[in-house]
Structure 1
């Protein structure tokens, strides 16, 4: 982006006299002073810390100007300042203005599971024929979505935006902020059920992504999910469905899997085999969602084939990496909920292996009063004949440990407290050998990424 302060001031509703700085140009925005690029606009947000306290750091990193939601007397003297009532609302207003200015087509994605992978797939496919900007990492909330919008290059033709939520009304706001042309719902699971109570209420909240749809917008959703079928039945919108059922508009056939990839064909392009560099039928569904969007924008299937085969996935989303002992690690350590854990366990248990299979499962957070029962129910997805040992981490996983002891007494199971990751890591380093496979899956708050880093450490054990 490149804008002068006069334009920015108009977009955010500046309440100070900025005339002396109206011609100052900015080329990016940042709310973390440490990540600000020279020529950037600093956005001092207020959360656990007050961003205004870091204005000197922003200046030291080359800030060209700053928003300011405090008394002007506290602003840095002689430095370009745009005073606003609320810096977060100003960031959002600036993003909305910039989106209107660039005017790309917008694809928005949400879902309890799979939204980041689906975002990556959609962006990869669309990039074969369009200039695309996509959500970085998981910048998918009231701060992240505006930052994604403001990261667009002026020649952006397609904006692919991931949208997360943990409360009602959040997707309504984000959808109206970006006014998507296509809204994608990957699936309805139990993520954040602590804040919603039931899957029905989660489905209601996910449907908010349609609230900002453009007049001729399209909703793309998992047609195998009754909660979505019910809620879309009376919508006066164009609809596209995907799934495993032949009643959906786009479904997969001839699914075949290796230890690191899955191939399939579809009813729409039966002579075009698609391959994705990941395992699991659930990832085939994510690919079908992406192909549904590809079909909306008339992407050539040959281009979609290449894009899916080489998709660049966001880190730690069911990613195969190599360990120091030569073991293969399936790293999926960013988030976890019951549906996602069961899906990845099912896929992992079917991967060909020369050595042994091990699973490390960390607590699934934000499940509320149902947490222990949902953890115990993970036992239904565990095949004792396919796993050599299960390692559990966190207080809620005690419930699963107890269930496994009752139902699968011959399966070796070891439990570790959440603060005992070094002990877990040491155990794994003493156990794993070349040709073994290990799954790491848990909520980000359990920090299994620390275990992953240690297992990949190349120094001798």
Structure 2
């Protein structure tokens, strides 16, 4: 964060202090293991541990001060800032840091694709600007402010991801970050169990615009049946896509190749060619949002392509790995209906020398009352996609097989596994080579299958 005196921090968080207030804070952490000299360690009480137990350790590692909700029973090696609510104090401090730095903030949300889009945009903008962006799954009421607190005097742009599990949550995040530009990737079925309808999901996602005026900019998927109806009334909205008329940025042609996507993009009457290393039509949409963001930030097409080449994806999101004679498409980070369909399309259209294509699918969670129907529909898609074999894992996953068989997929091409080690053994015992898709909700952790699949070669079990 921008170097700030303890005295100023106390004022921002409406706290009190013990000890000297002269030192200046240069960073904030809630993990005592990551404390660096000059940091403020915030002791939060969690479900499994209480940060107040690590105050001494934080000071030993060089913390300039600790923020606490209660005073310890013994004297500490440095000053304490006492607040009523540590999480709220972090949010207040993040808002202060965001305003003090006068950086631009770009926020991304959506039912699927938001992490890839965020990482793409971060790569694009980093060609011209010093960017701080969300890492891992730090997209909630704690992770977002901690991201904003990573920015310092060297930062030009924040690129943050906003997740949610209910109405009002993105509005709270938007109040902290006050984005200058916001991207919504799509309105899907993720969190349908909690929000009950796509209409409510739409309302929740568009809370990202809560504090927008004519000076802010929105970018949305103009092919999405909800987002295409957003009108630019109070602030400009750029629509990107493939199908609809009147798009501000349109992909007029795209091709999946061994090396990823090749795209022809039309903007302002001109056509530019772009490449992205990840395959799939869903990544066309992710690329379009990143390209549009680059144009808003006045990057040239050449600079945008340079930034897309810098893309560094997050773990378990469309990672292409070689395991012995198997090519694995590891997209196991999470799943909903739309992202599952996109992943199956990637497997279907994946180009390599391996003829056999295997879908290993885990449960899709939080889909509400129609969860069985959604799993059956994915099975139907499998049956019609030319996939060679379906391996299902999880209680709900049995309905993938049910839907597939109802649509003509042979029973002998299906296997319902009881555990992940069994999946690895089944594949290695029954197939010489194959391209394998791993896809399921986060709780299914399908990437763990890889620990039983050798990178260099393996004996059949």
Q: TM-score, normalised by structure 1?
A: 0.93
State yes or no: 1:213 paired with 2:215: no
1:180 equivalent in structure 2: 179
CA displacement, residues 258-313 of structure 1 (integer Å, 9 cap, x when unaligned) = 13401111111744210000111110001101111111111111011122133111
Q: Structure 1 pair 385/192, CA: closer, same or farther in 2 (3 Å)?
A: closer
Q: Distance in 2 between matches of 1:261 and 1:68?
A: 49
Give 2:13's aligned residue: 12
- Counterparts of 1:337 and 1:38 in 2: how far apart (Å)? 42
> How far off is 1:228 after superposition?
1.8
Counterparts of 1:315 and 1:247, CA distance in 2: 36
How much does 1:338 deviate? 0.6
1:432–1:82 distance in 2 versus 1, CA, 3 Å: farther
CA contact (8 A) 1:262 1:275 kept: yes
Q: 1:64 maps to which residue?
A: 64
Q: How does 1:219-298 map to 2 (within 5 A)?
A: 219-230=218-229, 232-233=230-231, 235-245=233-243, 246-268=245-267, 270-298=270-298
SS of residue in 1 equivalent to 2:437: strand
Q: Is the 8 A contact 1:131 1:158 kept in 2?
A: yes
Give the 3 Å change call, closer, same or farther, for CA 76–317 of structure 1 in structure 2. farther
Structure 1 counterpart SS, 2:449: helix
Cα gap change, 1:281 to 1:45, in 2 (>3 Å): same
Cα deviations across residues 116-146 of structure 1 (Å, max 9, x unaligned)?
1111111111111111111112210100100
- Count of residues paired in the alignment: 453
Contact 1:44/1:67 (8 A) holds in 2: yes
Q: Which runs of 5+ in 2 are unaligned?
A: none
Aligned to 2:299: 299
Question: What is the match of residue 428 of structure 2?
Answer: 429
Partner of 2:124: 125
Residue by residue, what CA displacement relative to the aligned partner does 1:369-403 show, whole Å, maximum 9, x if unpaired?
Answer: 22111111102321466322111111111112222
The 8 Å contact of residues 375 and 399 in structure 1, kept in 2 or not, is answered as yes
d(CA) in 2 for partners of 1:410, 1:377: 16
- In structure 2, relative to structure 1, the CA distance for the partners of 1:76 and 1:448 (3 Å cut) is farther
Counterpart residue number, 2:414: 413
1:298 partner SS:
coil
Partner in structure 2 of residue 451 of structure 1: 449
Q: What CA distance in whole angstroms lies between the structure 1 residues aligned with 2:457 and 2:325?
A: 13
2:34 corresponds to 1:41: no
Q: Is contact 1:260-1:320 (8 Å) kept? A: no
Does the C-alpha gap of structure 1 residues 100 and 214 become closer, same or farther in structure 2, counting only changes over 3 Å? farther
Aligned-partner Cα distance in 2 for 1:316–1:164: 18
In structure 2, relative to structure 1, the CA distance for the partners of 1:75 and 1:185 (3 Å cut) is: farther
Whether the 8 Å CA contact 2:254–2:261 is kept in 1: the answer is yes
Residue 371 (structure 1) aligns with: 371
2:360 counterpart residue number: 360
Distance 1:266 1:234, change over 3 A: closer
Q: Which residue of 1 aligns with 2:310?
A: 310
Aligned to 1:400: 400
Separation of aligned partners in 1, 2:399 and 2:182: 38
Asked whether the equivalents of residues 279 and 348 of structure 1 are also in contact (C-alpha less than 8 Å), the reply is: no
C-alpha displacement of 1:23: 1.9
Q: Distance in 2 between matches of 1:353 and 1:240?
A: 36
- CA apart distance, 1:460: 4.3
CA contact (8 A) 2:380 2:407 kept: no
> How far apart are the structure 1 equivalents of 2:159 and 2:167?
22
Post-superposition Cα deviations, 1:32-80, rounded to whole Å, max 9, x if no partner, equal: 223333432211222313322333443444433210111x253653432
Match of 1:451, SS state, is helix
- Give 2:390's aligned residue: 390
What displacement does 1:361 show? 0.5
User: d(CA) in 1 for partners of 2:90 and 2:191?
Assistant: 26
User: 1:4: Cα distance to partner?
Assistant: 2.9
Deviations 1:155-213 (A, max 9, x none): 11111111001110001011111111111101010111110001111001101000123
Q: C-alpha root-mean-square deviation of aligned residues, in Å?
A: 2.0
Write the distance in 1 (CA, Å) between the matches of 2:74 and 2:152: 30
Preserved contact between residue 213 and residue 235 of structure 2 (Cα < 8 Å) = no
Q: 2: CA distance between counterparts of 1:3 and 1:293? A: 31
- Find the aligned partners of 1:453 and 1:59 in 2 and give their Cα distance: 38
Alpha-carbon distance in 1 for matches of 2:68, 2:60? 17
Runs (5+) with no aligned partner, structure 1: none
> What is the CA–CA distance in structure 2 between the aligned matches of 1:367 and 1:87, rounded to whole Å?
33
C-alpha contact (below 8 Å) 1:112/1:186 kept by paired residues: yes
